Structure 1
Amino acid sequence: MSRSLTPLNRQQVPQTGTAGPRPTAPALTAPPLDYTYDGSFDGLMTVLFTIYDRKAPPNSIQPEGAVQGGLFTQPLLVETHEATAARVWDGLLRHMREEARTRLFHAFLSEQPDRELLIFRYADLAMRSAQDIAENYTDENVRRVAHLSQQMGREKHRMEAFVRFEKTSDELFHATIEPDFDVLPLIAPHFTKRYADQRWLIYDQRRHYGLYYDLHRTDIVQFESDTTTPRRSGVSATVLDEREPLFKVLWQTYFDHVNIPERKNMKLHRRHIPLRYWKYLSEKQPRETRFEPIRNKRPQP
């Protein structure tokens, strides 16, 4: 399945003016069809074009390899066409604001089992409504898309805060994550801007692909087999920079000393840093040296 850092690898186009009547989607009068595609976002945009081109509403929209067809139905395989997908993506701005369109991309990255039909229903509703539907929370599809977008936003901010890099001997900073959702395309701009002076790789262990920045651009990287995938627990000490253990100890020491034991609140702590992230946080790993508090207080007279 192909991936992109931004929808269709295109720049966001400015939203056009709202002068003139809103275009209306054609009526879907043909018999319903089952659609299948390559699993990419631009592939899904191509499916949306095919639905209205054929005027055939979807019974289902499923990625290749996960198709569950009936005994007497043959799914229609839609080949991805980037130009067609870009036309659909840009055309959505004629029916919705850019923020609402971004929510559709977030819904796709959420990896929900029915995300394709959800995106179709949201887009179809927007194209048949005389007004913007982004705040129409009485509609179940609008509520679900907004909720998924909020979840993606929270996961994005957590990943931006919880990524911990390890430096290898060839000056590459490597980090392994395992987020609940496919957030790598969303966090790429943050890390590209913040760590523009160093090479880094952020690898999603669950989805077997990563982001690689080479001091010039950030690209998607994928590994051919699981035997080559980097894992935090599998990085040999000979691969890491010789100072990396010291960096880990320094970070743990800093974390220990800024902590205030008397104000410890583990319930609140777990709310802000869920347990599922702890295995990738340096400060949550077993201490190699015993913590000793700094004794810098003057003795009481």
Structure 2
Amino acid sequence: MESETVLVFDGSFPGFLCALGDALNILSKNHPLPRFEESGKDCAPGLFSIRLKARRDEARAVRVWKRIESKAGEKAMIECRDAFLSDAPMRFQALGHAMARLYREGPRALDDWADPSMALVAKACLRTRHQAHLATGILRFSELAGGTWYAPLDTDCDVLPLLGNHFSSRFPQSPFVIHDTRRGCAILHDPGARWTIAPGFHIEDSSLYLSAREDAIRDAWRRYFGAVSIEARENPALQAAHMPKKYWKYLPEMNFGQAHGILNPCEDPSWKALVSSNSPRPPD
């Protein structure tokens, strides 16, 4: 029985591209496509599997991207990137197969939805983009005491790379943070500078203090929301159908018990003091 090669990467898109580069080299020797596996995940090793670690190398990831892009085109590559950011369980293997085909056959391969891998990539890409589109409408920014605007976010797909350009062009003169609380990373934007994604982002100490203006607006909005509500016609099920409950925790009108002046735990309202990493990296 022929052994199976498993390429283990760090879970990032640059790491996946490095693993894909190894996979293309393996395919060039007429071996089957390796299996892709994220490090740290509980995956049962096969009896005859050979596990190889794909080391993340930013420069190499760029070279692999350009190598495939020269055959597939930018549009197809962006679609694969967005599919990678989804939460589809089998996306890594499907992307490995899809991007290998794109390298061999060009962009037309992505339209072959009869291929289950191509169909999965298209569906995963659509899911990520749909969630990013929803986030542009549901995201709530709060003005902190230091003048920074802070917006927490919790989505099934990793949508931060798709939000940076939208919000930086919409609020070019505002310092803001979009915090993905599930993945522990955040978009950081300062006026006049390009936005970046900071990994390992966490809130320190005990409170994020709202500005006095923000606190007053929140209080007025909650009172308005309560005043226009007709108790006899309340329908929580219908409300949840229009606005799923998973989005409620970051909506001021749904958090009547929130303490005045405090948003979430943190002492210093400046985003520069909130980033655990001293050198935020550009978006993957």
Query: TM-score range with shorter-chain normalisation?
Result: 0.7 to 0.9
Question: Quick check: 1:243 aligned with 2:213?
Answer: yes
Name the stretch that deviates more: 246-255 or 213-222: 246-255
Question: Quick check: 1:281 aligned with 2:258?
Answer: no
Question: Quick check: 1:51 aligned with 2:23?
Answer: yes
Q: Aligned pair in 2 of structure 1 residues 212, 149: CA closer, same or farther (>3 Å)?
A: same
Select 1:179's aligned residue among 144, 155, 178.
155
Residue matched to 2:182? 206
Amino acid at match of 2:142: E
Residue matched to 1:61? 36
| In 2: Cα distance, 1:219 partner to 1:271 partner | 35
Q: What is the CA-CA distance between 1:263 and the residue it aligns to?
A: 10
Q: Aligned pair in 2 of structure 1 residues 278, 230: CA closer, same or farther (>3 Å)?
A: farther
Q: What is the CA-CA distance between 1:244 and the residue it aligns to?
A: 2.2
Amino acid at match of 2:203: T
| In 1: Cα distance, 2:115 partner to 2:231 partner | 48
1:223–1:229 Cα contact (<8 Å) kept? no
Select 1:76's aligned residue among 45, 49, 52.
52
**Alignment identity in percent?**
28
Residue matched to 1:8? none
1:107–1:148 Cα contact (<8 Å) kept? yes
Larger Rg: 1 or 2? 1
| In 2: Cα distance, 1:130 partner to 1:202 partner | 36
Select 2:145's aligned residue among 152, 166, 169.
169
Aligned Cα RMSD in Å?
Answer: 3.2
Q: What is the CA-CA distance between 1:173 and the residue it aligns to?
A: 1.2
Q: Aligned pair in 2 of structure 1 residues 78, 198: CA closer, same or farther (>3 Å)?
A: same
SS in 1 for 2:150: strand
Q: Deviations over 1:197-221 (max 9, x none)?
A: 1111111111111111122221222
Q: What is the CA-CA distance between 1:90 and the residue it aligns to?
A: 2.0
| In 1: Cα distance, 2:228 partner to 2:118 partner | 43
Amino acid at match of 1:65: G
1:252–1:287 Cα contact (<8 Å) kept? no
Q: What is the CA-CA distance between 1:152 and the residue it aligns to?
A: 1.0
Select 1:217's aligned residue among 187, 194, 209.
194
SS in 1 for 2:176: strand
Alignment of 1:114-193 (within 5 A): 114-129=90-105, 132-193=108-169
2:187–2:196 Cα contact (<8 Å) kept? yes
Amino acid at match of 1:229: I
TM-score, with structure 2 as normaliser: 0.76
| In 1: Cα distance, 2:223 partner to 2:73 partner | 47
Question: Quick check: 1:108 aligned with 2:84?
Answer: yes
Amino acid at match of 2:212: E
- Which blocks of at least 5 consecutive residues in structure 2 are unaligned? 259-284
1:203–1:230 Cα contact (<8 Å) kept? no
| In 1: Cα distance, 2:239 partner to 2:84 partner | 30
| In 2: Cα distance, 1:241 partner to 1:78 partner | 46
2:3–2:49 Cα contact (<8 Å) kept? no
| In 2: Cα distance, 1:220 partner to 1:285 partner | 28
Aligned residues: 252
Q: Deviations over 1:150-201 (max 9, x none)?
A: 1111110111111112222111111211111111111111111111111111
Residue matched to 1:9? none
Amino acid at match of 1:246: A
SS in 1 for 2:212: coil
Amino acid at match of 2:197: I
Select 2:7's aligned residue among 28, 35, 38.
35
